[in-house]
């Protein structure tokens, strides 16, 4: 019996068995307690509440919504707002991070120092503090609607938000938008074709200039083809507030600014480490075989730098999605605010609501890490 215990395999199995028994016992213990507590307190169970009427308004909803809609709708409004804020912040922080990361390595002493000061300052201030600062200090001290800051007579900035003109969704607007999308798709395939031709014949094709030219010509053509009828709805002061146009609420703006500025510091560090990781010998080798500095950057440095910079950058994208939940501190109506906050307070079914909320973030994380694995696989150095 004891001799058997000295066998590593037997001990391994025994240890795992004990772990399972312990885990099951623990889960059973909290499970029975929870069931008992829920019965005692008379909390409803199940997901039936989702079809109930919410009874509260959300001021910033991308889809049709009012108090008479169901909690399901609340869930989707929150989810959509989470997605919107995440996509916008990912876009803005990538640009800002890329710029700061490149400037950090600039041979201009002042610019390099300013960039590293930016990174050192903003990554060492808690993100929640930055969000609250933007919301309670910067945006709250803007002038009142009647004294709005006015830009070009059509953009108004005040402490209730930013008001900008919004194009009417008529055939011209939609036509121009579709044409822009079309140009991007076309240039993508053009680029593929040009690369292929370059590898086969060595001939170059000016994809960049063609693309830029198309981006100017095609939308203008589309504008005239689809009736040349751009119509904007302009914001205007009525009573104490603005109506018309598109409103960016302070909650949205504070979250966007704070998350962008905070996350850009991490993306900048990723970009910098990527560029620095390309050894000097690579650049020298590229120069010695006669590549121009642009060719060296495009063909030698960037492909290697991107390979190193992309995984941490995608991790930051994931952090953006997760940090967008801090909106609950200022009340931007994303998932945690409207669902895990307001809905939970009204319904009280904590287990169902928190699990649904967590599940959303889990699915996003799993999808992103699958994407990351796929990118890493695609980007792996192909050794022959």
Partner 1 sequence: MAVYNKVETREAPSNSKGMVYWLRANLFSTPLNSAMTILGIAFLFWVIPPFIKWSIIDANFAGSTRADCTGDGACWVFVRAKMDMFMYGFYPEVERWRIHLTYALFFVVIASFKYLKQAMPKIIIAIIYFIIAFILIRGGFFGLETIDTNKWGGLMLTIVVSSVGIVCSFPLGIILAFGRASKLPIIKSVSVTYIEFIRGVPLITILFMSSVILPLFFPEGVTFDKLLRALIGITLFQAAYIAEVIRGGLQSIPSGQYEAADAVGLSYWQKMLLVILPQALKVAIPNLVGSFIALFQDTTLVLIIGLFDLLAMVQVTGSDSHWLGFETEGYVFVTLIFWVFCYSMSVYSKSLEKRFNTNLK
Question: Where does this chain bind partner 1 (CB under 8 A)?
Answer: 12, 15-16, 19-20, 23, 30, 33-34, 36-38, 40, 106-111, 114, 120-121, 123-129, 132-133, 136-137, 141, 322-323, 325-326, 328-329, 336, 340, 344, 350-351, 354, 357-358, 361-362, 364-366
What is the nearest approach in angstroms of partner 1 to the Cβ of residue 239?
A: 26
CB of 113 to partner 1, least distance (A): 9
For partner 1, the closer CB: 36 or 238: 36
User: Is 193 strand, coil or helix?
Assistant: helix
What minimum distance in Å lies between the beta carbon of 67 and partner 1? 24
| Closest to partner 1 by CB, 57 or 350 | 350
Q: Least separation, in Å, of the C-beta of 197 and partner 1?
A: 33
Q: Please state the closest distance from residue 281 (CB atom) to partner 1, in A.
A: 19
Asked if residue 343 lies in contact with residue 353, where contact means CB atoms within 8 angstroms, the answer is yes
Q: CB nearer to partner 1: give 101 or 245.
A: 101
CA distance 255 to 253: 5
Q: How many CA atoms lie within 13 A of 320 on its CB side?
A: 33
Reported as type and span, the H/E element at residue 263 is helix 250-277
Place of tokens 């699958």: 370
249 or 361, CB closer to partner 1? 361
The kind and range of the H/E element at 238 are strand 236-238
CB of 280 to partner 1, least distance (A): 19
Nearest Cα neighbor of 81 from 334, 278, 321 is 334
| Residue-level length of the chain | 384
Contact 182, 263 (CB under 8 A): no
Rounded CA gap, 148 and 244, in Å? 15
In the bound state with partner 1, the residue whose beta carbon lies nearer, of 95 and 359, is: 359
User: Nearer Cβ to partner 1, position 18 or 63?
Assistant: 18
Residue 26 vs 184, nearer CB to partner 1 = 26
Q: Closest separation between CB of residue 19 and partner 1, Å?
A: 6
Q: What is the dihedral of CA 160, 162, 167, 169, to 10 degrees?
A: -50
Question: Looking up tokens 């308004």, which residue turns up?
Answer: 57
Query: How far apart are alpha carbons 69 and 55 in whole angstroms?
Result: 8
């Amino acid at each position: 019996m004891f001799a058997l215990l000295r066998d590593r395999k037997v001990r391994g199995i025994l240890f795992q068995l004990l772990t399972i028994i312990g885990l099951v016992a623990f889960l059973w213990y909290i499970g029975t307690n929870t069931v008992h507590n829920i019965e005692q307190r008379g909390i409803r169970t199940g997901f039936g509440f989702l079809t109930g009427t919410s009874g509260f308004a959300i001021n910033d909803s991308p889809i049709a919504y009012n108090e008479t809609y169901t909690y399901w709708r609340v869930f989707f409004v929150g989810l959509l707002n989470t997605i919107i804020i995440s996509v916008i912040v990912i876009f803005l922080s990538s640009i800002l991070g890329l710029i700061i990361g490149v400037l950090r390595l600039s041979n201009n002493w002042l610019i390099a120092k300013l960039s590293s000061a930016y990174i050192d300052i903003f990554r060492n201030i808690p993100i929640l503090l930055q969000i609250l600062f933007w919301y309670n200090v910067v945006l709250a001290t803007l002038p009142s609607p009647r004294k709005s800051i006015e830009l070009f007579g059509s953009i108004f900035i005040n402490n209730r938000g930013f008001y900008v003109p919004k194009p009417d969704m008529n055939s011209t607007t939609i036509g121009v938008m579709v044409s822009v999308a079309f140009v991007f798709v076309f240039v993508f395939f053009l680029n593929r074709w040009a690369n292929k031709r370059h590898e086969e014949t060595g001939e170059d094709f000016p994809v960049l200039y063609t693309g830029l030219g198309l981006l100017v010509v095609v939308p203008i053509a589309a504008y005239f083809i689809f009736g040349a009828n751009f119509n904007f709805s302009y914001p205007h002061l009525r009573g104490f507030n603005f109506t018309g146009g598109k409103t960016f609420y302070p909650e949205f703006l504070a979250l966007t600014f704070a998350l962008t500025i905070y996350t850009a510091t991490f993306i900048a560090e990723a970009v910098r480490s990527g560029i620095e990781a390309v050894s000097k010998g690579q650049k020298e080798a590229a120069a010695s075989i006669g590549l121009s500095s642009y060719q060296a950057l495009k063909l030698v440095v960037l492909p290697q730098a991107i390979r190193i910079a992309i995984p941490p950058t995608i991790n930051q994208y994931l952090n953006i999605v997760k940090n967008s939940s801090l909106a609950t501190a200022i009340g931007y109506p994303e998932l945690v605010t409207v669902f895990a906050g307001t809905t939970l307070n009204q319904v009280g079914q904590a287990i169902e609501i928190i699990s649904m909320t967590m599940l959303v973030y889990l699915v996003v994380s799993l999808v992103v890490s699958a994407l990351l694995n796929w990118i890493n696989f695609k980007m792996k150095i192909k050794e022959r």
